[in-house]
Amino acid sequence: MHVLKLEINNYRHMKDLSRRSITGVVYVVLMLAGAAFHPLLFAVVFGTFLYLTQLEFYQLLEKAGSAPRKTAGLALGLLFFIICFGMVNNLLPAKSYLIFIPALTFIFLFEAFSEKSGILQNSAVTFTGFVYVAVPFSLLNFMVHPGYPNYPVFNAKILIGVFFIVWVYDSMAYMAGSMFGKHKIHKKISPNKSWEGLIAGTVFALLTGILNSVIFQHPSVLNWLAISVIVVLFGTLGDLFESIIKRRLNVKDSGTILPGHGGLLDRFDSLLFVIPVVYVWLDFTGNL
């Protein structure tokens, strides 16, 4: 009987591992295809990711008893992404983002004319979903058009390099933490995160940054090392931020859309914090 149970557990483990691997491959392929091939494919892939991730965030908040204006928040998120896409592809004037300012007031107008209670709270959580999810995704438009506005040519090398660093950091931190992790970063918030995993992930993130400078030739190796440090610091903060949200809501995963991986928010938690900071660094250093 014991042998039978062991075999069943091994079968389930292998099945889960296989499902997780297949999902991971599909996820990576979609990310790379969306970033590498064509602006329209980029818009479809990352616009869809934006919508589903922001929706997932609002659904998490609903479980906590909040009442975000999902329709208004999602519409504003997609609108901002589309405006940024139109600007970098010369489909819209450079100051088209100003359209978004009056559009933003609709969140508060919806609440003002609503019979629901908690106007300020509902508006705040709706706006939080926009800032947390839609803004980072929309900034990707500028990262794949590094010459905008002077030379708005689609070039996703920097973005793909950032993806590489994030994926290597997350993978190596997870593997090292699983095998050697004894000292937890924060037992209550994220008990699976260890200092050993963080150190290993940092080393491999820096090595990936150096490799990126060789593969892509631009920006400089110092800039890639700086981006690697940003990924380590803000990727970890992004992961901890989502862990805090899930722990307070008493949920394991943000969703079930990715078999074996949970939700999209679970996969993008690091990038949502990393992308804005990397964008600011690249802009300030003249690499965009």
Q: Tell me, yes or no, whether 166 and 279 share the same domain.
A: yes
Domain end: 155, 175, 202, which one? 155
3-state secondary structure of 162: helix
Question: Does a structural domain hold residue 20?
Answer: no
Cα 82 off chain centre by: 18
| Angle of CA points 20, 189, 23, to nearest 5° | 10
Average pLDDT over the chain, rounded to an integer: 81
Q: Tell me, yes or no, whether 151 and 168 share the same domain.
A: no
Provide the number of structural domains found in the chain.
2
Distance CA 169, CA 165 (A): 6
Q: Tell me, yes or no, whether 190 and 238 share the same domain.
A: yes
On the 0-12 / 13-18 / 19+ scale of CB atoms within 10 A, 253 is middle
Q: For residue 117, what pLDDT is reported?
A: 65
Q: What is the pLDDT along the chain (288 residues), one digit of tens a residue?
A: 554 454 444 444 454 555 666 766 777 888 888 888 889 999 999 999 999 999 999 988 888 777 788 888 898 899 999 999 999 998 888 888 787 777 777 766 766 676 666 677 777 888 889 999 999 999 999 999 988 878 778 899 999 999 999 999 988 887 877 777 565 666 665 556 676 778 888 999 999 999 999 999 889 999 999 999 999 999 989 888 887 877 777 766 555 555 545 678 888 888 999 999 999 999 999 887
Question: Does a structural domain hold residue 245?
Answer: yes
Distance CA 240, CA 237 (A): 5
Q: Tell me, yes or no, whether 173 and 237 share the same domain.
A: yes
Domain end: 155, 170, 192, which one? 155
| Residue 200 lies in domain | 157-288
Question: Does a structural domain hold residue 229?
Answer: yes
Q: For residue 271, what pLDDT is reported?
A: 93
Q: For residue 227, what pLDDT is reported?
A: 96
Q: Tell me, yes or no, whether 180 and 259 share the same domain.
A: yes
Instruction: Indicate the DSSP class of residue 285.
Output: T
Tell me if 107 sits within 8 A of 69, measured CB to CB. yes
**Count of C-beta atoms within a 10 Å radius of residue 132:** 20
Token pair 């090392």 is found at: 225
Helix axes 135-143, 157-180, angle to 10 degrees: 130
Distance CA 148, CA 22 (A): 36
Question: Which residues, in sequence order, are CB contacts of 215 under 8 Å at separation 6+?
Answer: 161
As separate numbers, helices (DSSP H) first and strands (DSSP E) second, the chain gives: 10, 2
Over residues 50-61, the pLDDT tens digits come to 999 999 999 888
Question: Does a structural domain hold residue 241?
Answer: yes
Question: Does a structural domain hold residue 29?
Answer: no
Q: Tell me, yes or no, whether 167 and 279 share the same domain.
A: yes
Domain end: 155, 170, 186, which one? 155
Over residues 89-125, the pLDDT tens digits come to 988 888 887 877 777 777 667 666 766 666 777 778 8
Q: For residue 21, what pLDDT is reported?
A: 65
Question: Does a structural domain hold residue 199?
Answer: yes
Question: Does a structural domain hold residue 17?
Answer: no
Distance of CA 273 to CAs 100, 131, 137, Å? 22, 11, 11
Question: Which residues, in sequence order, are CB contacts of 41 under 8 Å at separation 6+?
Answer: 33, 34
Q: For residue 13, what pLDDT is reported?
A: 44
Q: Tell me, yes or no, whether 124 and 162 share the same domain.
A: no
Q: Tell me, yes or no, whether 210 and 121 share the same domain.
A: no
- Give the type of residue at 192: N
Question: Does a structural domain hold residue 141?
Answer: yes
Instruction: Indicate the DSSP class of residue 262.
Output: B
Q: Tell me, yes or no, whether 191 and 72 share the same domain.
A: no
Backbone angles phi, psi at 244, to 5 degrees: -60, -45
Distance CA 80, CA 138 (A): 7
Distance of CA 192 to CAs 135, 195, 196, 279, Å? 29, 10, 11, 29
- Give the type of residue at 85: F
Q: Tell me, yes or no, whether 109 and 185 share the same domain.
A: no
3-state secondary structure of 190: strand
Tell me if 121 sits within 8 A of 33, measured CB to CB. no
Q: Tell me, yes or no, whether 75 and 175 share the same domain.
A: no
Q: Tell me, yes or no, whether 146 and 112 share the same domain.
A: yes
Over residues 229-265, the pLDDT tens digits come to 999 999 989 888 887 877 777 766 555 555 545 678 8
